[in-house]
């Protein structure tokens, strides 16, 4: 049962967090937080170690919730329009 190892979920969280540095816009950070929460639950022995569907459900719910919270905190706001003052090709 490789999915019950907390360090695998922790490594997945770290890989996703590193991937967030490469991709802009908080795309992977919510998934990294979800994997981190699952790793924490498994490390603490919260009784979810035997069930892959339960682990995936926790991962999905926490990832979605944190992604929505990050989008609300640092995302594009309603009515916000991006304007450009100058062209990068002009000097």
Q: What is the pLDDT of residues 29-71, one digit of tens each?
A: 889 999 999 999 888 887 676 788 888 999 999 999 998 888 7
**Predicted local distance difference test score (pLDDT) of residue 76:** 64
Residue 42 lies in a domain: yes
Residue 12 lies in a domain: yes
Contact 30, 67 (CB under 8 A): yes
Q: Cα-Cα-Cα-Cα dihedral of 1, 9, 58, 21, to 10°?
A: -150
Residue 46 lies in a domain: yes
Residue 88 lies in a domain: no
pLDDT digits (tens, 9 = 90+) for 14-24: 999 999 888 87
Task: Count CB atoms within 10 A of the CB of residue 9.
Answer: 23
Residue 91 lies in a domain: no
How sure is the predictor about 2, in pLDDT bands with cuts at 50, 70 and 90?
Answer: confident
pTM reported for the whole predicted model: 0.74
Residue 11 lies in a domain: yes
How sure is the predictor about 86, in pLDDT bands with cuts at 50, 70 and 90?
Answer: confident
Range of the domain at 44: 2-72
Contact 38, 64 (CB under 8 A): no
Backbone angles phi, psi at 89, to 5 degrees: -85, -10
């Amino acid at each position: 049962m490789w999915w019950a190892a907390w360090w695998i979920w922790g490594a997945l969280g770290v890989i996703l967090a590193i991937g967030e540095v490469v991709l802009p816009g908080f795309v992977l950070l919510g998934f990294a937080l979800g994997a981190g929460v699952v790793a924490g639950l498994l490390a603490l022995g919260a009784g979810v170690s035997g069930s892959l569907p339960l682990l995936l459900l926790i991962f999905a719910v926490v990832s979605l919730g944190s992604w929505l919270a990050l989008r609300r905190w640092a995302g594009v706001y309603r009515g916000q329009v991006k304007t450009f003052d100058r062209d990068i090709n002009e000097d």
